[in-house]
Amino acid sequence: MQSTADLLAGVKQGNFIALARALTLVENELEGSAELLRSLTAKANTPVFGITGPPGAGKSTLVNAIVEELTSEGSKVAILAVDPTSPFNFGSLLGDRIRMSQQFNNPRVFIRSVATRGALGGISTKTIELVDVMRAAEFDFIFVETVGVGQSELEIAGLADRTVVVLVPESGDEIQHIKSGLMEVAQAFTVNKADREGAGQFANNLKKLVAHQNPPIPVFSTVADKKIGVTDLCTWLKTPAEVNNSRKPFLMAEKAFKLLQHEKTKHIDKSRLLNDIKLASREIDFNIYRFIDTWR
């Protein structure tokens, strides 16, 4: 078995086999996984995008179209697809990955599926850890596609730098019920399958709903399977986000809380966690796994 140092060296060099082994080590909590996590140097400047939305919105097809355009420009992309958990073997159900089949042999694309492990919002502690391992590799973009279960997907906000909520024209009747949660999550909306009847009106109504937001939330219209509208969305994805320093400690605290909860499963004071992480995250060599080892 490779040592942790050799495995990390392979990950940093862009070796997909080493990355796959490292992810398996962490996901299954095998020997050496704790050491690996605490030895990570995750690249904070590698953007992580959450792609979320209701089932049937075309998230996988949209991710496939986005990745095809980004890689055609020379970018290297990782995809973490969060799938429902099988009730039989507790692994991930991989049906949606069929829609990304054309990327399987692309040397610029790494795809990994992970089971939700019962997490209602599709984001388990393992998802957080796997993204951090991916951030230690040489990727230009990382996409996390969640299982799509409605308002509980607020959890993605604590993991991704920016989140795209994918909707379809038929979501119009539901938007009033879900808008409060979605406004908290989304940095952009995409109305997919925009060639369907009523898509234009739905997109306009959505734009009116988000008009008061600051910073403005863009609304894109796409037909992912025909590659329509994808270029505009990719242009927005490639534009560096404005750093919201007041929001970052809250998101980092939420991430640390999930890891602590997994390790200790005891009552945790989240307010104190936020205050402590505000101070600790100012250090240049801040590592969230070393932080939770010493936090009491």
Which pLDDT tens digit goes with each residue over 196-224? 998 999 899 888 888 888 778 899 999 99
Residues 15 and 50 reside in one and the same domain: no
Residues 117 and 152 reside in one and the same domain: yes
Question: CB count, 10 Å around CB of 29?
Answer: 12
Predicted confidence at residue 95, as pLDDT, reads 46
Asked if residue 83 lies in contact with residue 93, where contact means CB atoms within 8 angstroms, the answer is yes
Percent of residues, the chain, with pLDDT higher than 70: 76
pLDDT at 150 over 80: no
- According to DSSP, the β-strands at 48-52 and 162-167 are parallel
Q: How far apart (Å, rounded) are the C-alpha atoms in residues 194 and 33?
A: 44
Residues 48 and 151 reside in one and the same domain: yes
Which one, of 120, 117, 187, 223, lies nearest residue 130 by Cα? 117
> Is there a domain that residue 243 lies in?
no
Banded model confidence at residue 252, pLDDT cuts 50, 70, 90: confident
pLDDT at 88 over 60: no
Residues 66 and 13 reside in one and the same domain: no
Predicted confidence at residue 90, as pLDDT, reads 43
> Is there a domain that residue 284 lies in?
yes
In terms of residue numbers, what domain contains 51?
42-238
Domain boundary residue, one of 204, 219, 238:
238
Predicted confidence at residue 154, as pLDDT, reads 56
Banded model confidence at residue 102, pLDDT cuts 50, 70, 90: low
Residues 139 and 71 reside in one and the same domain: yes
| Beta-bridge mates of residue 190 | 166, 220
Banded model confidence at residue 176, pLDDT cuts 50, 70, 90: low
Three-state secondary structure string covering the chain = CCCHHHHHHHHHCCCHHHHHHHHHHHHCCCCCHHHHHHCCCCCCCCCEEEEECCCCCCHHHHHHHHHHHHHHCCCCEEEEEEECECCCCCCECCHHHHHHHHHCCCCCEEEEEEECCCCCCCCCHHHHHHHHHHHCCCCCEEEEECCCCHHHHHHHHHCCCEEEEEECHHHHHCHHHHHHHHHHHCCEEEECCCCCCCHHHHHHHHHHHHCCCCCCCCEEECEHHHCECHHHHHHHHHCCCCCCCCCHHHHHHHHHHHHHHHHHCCCCCHHHHHHHHHHHCCCCCCCHHHHHHHCC
> Is there a domain that residue 200 lies in?
yes
Residues 187 and 141 reside in one and the same domain: yes
> Is there a domain that residue 6 lies in?
yes
Predicted confidence at residue 270, as pLDDT, reads 75
Residues 35 and 83 reside in one and the same domain: no
Residues 157 and 270 reside in one and the same domain: no
Residues 223 and 254 reside in one and the same domain: no
Domain harbouring 95, CATH code? 3.40.50.300
- For residue 195 the two structure tokens come to 């060639």
Stretch 48-75: mean pLDDT, rounded? Answer: 91
pLDDT at 152 over 50: no
Predicted confidence at residue 91, as pLDDT, reads 45
Question: CB count, 10 Å around CB of 17?
Answer: 9
Residues 25 and 93 reside in one and the same domain: no
Tokens 């060296």 belong to residue? 9
Stretch 275-285: mean pLDDT, rounded? Answer: 91
Asked if residue 183 lies in contact with residue 88, where contact means CB atoms within 8 angstroms, the answer is no
Residues 96 and 108 reside in one and the same domain: yes
Overall domain count for the chain: 3
> Is there a domain that residue 1 lies in?
yes
> Is there a domain that residue 156 lies in?
yes
Residues 109 and 30 reside in one and the same domain: no
